[in-house]
């Protein structure tokens, strides 16, 4: 198959480009195409005529989205619509990356794909509206929801924690938000598998297991052999512009139906730390 990755210069895009072997892969970064430009999107997709497109480009600064809602919706909702229309013209299958932020966080059990969307942030709303529009435009598209993405080659939570822990004796990290850390390498492998399986509909794709940000930070510090003390605090004590879901654990059932399983986040963290030091 001929695959096109839009957003190839981002954290996930870089991992996808590295991991995708055995197929012809065209990677486009933000310098190559601005997904807000419908004409340009049509042009690059029409020229390459891929069998499948993975759309990993997004405005992912969750707090930035709160202060720049127009930009958030232009990139995260209207951009994907432009890509979907271009995909439809050449008969390409579309896989769109979405987020756990489409949920309100009020669940106490892992979210299934059919659970109702109820986003609380601008970022979450932009992603939720994109999902709805894409499923109307391309009912056969695949929407891969993920969460708490980390990996080398970009800004992410473990990278921030390691840098802070190198210079501070203590770190305060929120302990009342639960989710699933997801390693860019494992997410990429799952996306490649879904693409080859011609997956459609909504699929939840995260590493196995869940934790709070505090538990994640504590494991990062411990695994890196650092002596920094990690202390639990509440979200109220660490107020941020965008509301975060208190619980956004995603159920793996939809992914397992394709015969795809992903290792635990703890296993992924060890591999990330090794990759980071090489």
Span 31-53, average pLDDT:
98
pLDDT at 209: 98
- Tens-place pLDDT, residues 182-191: 999 999 999 9
pLDDT for the residue 239: 87
Percent of the chain exceeding pLDDT 90 equals 99
Asked if pLDDT for residue 136 goes beyond 90, the answer is yes
Examine residue 56 and state whether it is found in any structural domain, yes or no: yes
Q: Under 8 Å CB-to-CB from 29, ≥6 apart: which residues?
A: 7, 8, 9, 10, 13
In a domain, 271, yes or no: no
pLDDT at 193: 98
- The answer to whether the beta carbons of residues 123 and 98 sit under 8 Å apart is no
pLDDT in tens, 78-104: 999 999 999 999 999 999 999 999 999
Domain-located, residue 218: no
In sequence order, what are the residues at sequence separation of 6 or more whose Cβ sits closer than 8 angstroms to the Cβ of residue 153?
11, 14, 15, 184
Catalytic residue numbers? 123
* Inside any domain, residue 268: no
pLDDT band at 15 (very low <50, low <70, confident <90, very high): very high
Task: Say which CATH number the domain at 75 has.
Answer: 3.40.50.720
Mean pLDDT score, 109-120: 98
- Asked if the structure places residue 274 within a domain, the reply is no
Our count of domains for the chain comes to 1
For residue range 214-249, list pLDDT tens digits in order: 999 999 999 999 999 999 999 999 989 999 999 999
Residue range of the domain that includes 78: 2-155+181-207+248-263
Would residue 70 count as lying in a domain? Answer: yes
Tokens 């473990």 identify what position?
Answer: 158
265 near 215, Cβ under 8 Å?
no
Residue 62 resides in a domain: yes
Whether 33 is in a domain gets the answer yes
Q: Mean pLDDT over residues 9-14, rounded? A: 97
């Amino acid at each position: 198959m001929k695959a096109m990755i839009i957003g190839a210069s981002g954290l996930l895009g870089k991992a996808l480009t590295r991991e995708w072997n055995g197929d012809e892969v065209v990677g486009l970064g933000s310098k190559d195409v601005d997904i807000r430009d419908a004409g340009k999107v049509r042009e690059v997709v029409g020229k390459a005529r891929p069998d499948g497109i993975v759309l990993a480009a997004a405005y992912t600064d969750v707090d930035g989205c709160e202060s720049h809602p127009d930009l958030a919706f232009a990139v995260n909702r209207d951009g994907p619509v432009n890509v979907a229309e271009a995909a439809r013209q050449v008969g390409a299958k579309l896989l769109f990356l979405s987020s756990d932020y489409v949920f309100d966080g009020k669940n106490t059990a892992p979210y299934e794909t059919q659970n109702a969307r109820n986003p609380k942030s601008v970022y979450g709303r932009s992603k939720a509206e994109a999902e709805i529009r894409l499923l109307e435009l391309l009912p056969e598209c695949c929407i891969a929801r993920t969460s708490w993405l980390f990996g080398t080659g970009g800004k992410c939570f473990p990278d921030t924690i390691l840098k802070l822990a190198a210079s501070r004796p203590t770190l305060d990290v929120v302990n009342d938000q639960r989710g699933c850390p997801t390693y860019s390498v494992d997410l990429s492998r799952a996306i490649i598998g879904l693409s080859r399986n011609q997956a459609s509909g909504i699929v939840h794709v995260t590493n196995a297991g869940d934790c709070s940000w505090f538990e994640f930070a504590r494991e990062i510090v411990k695994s890196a052999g650092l002596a920094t003390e990690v202390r639990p605090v509440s979200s109220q004590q660490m107020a941020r512009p965008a509301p975060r879901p208190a619980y956004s654990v995603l159920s793996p059932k939809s992914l397992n139906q394709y015969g795809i399983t992903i290792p635990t986040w703890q296993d992924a963290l060890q591999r990330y730390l090794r990759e980071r030091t090489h």
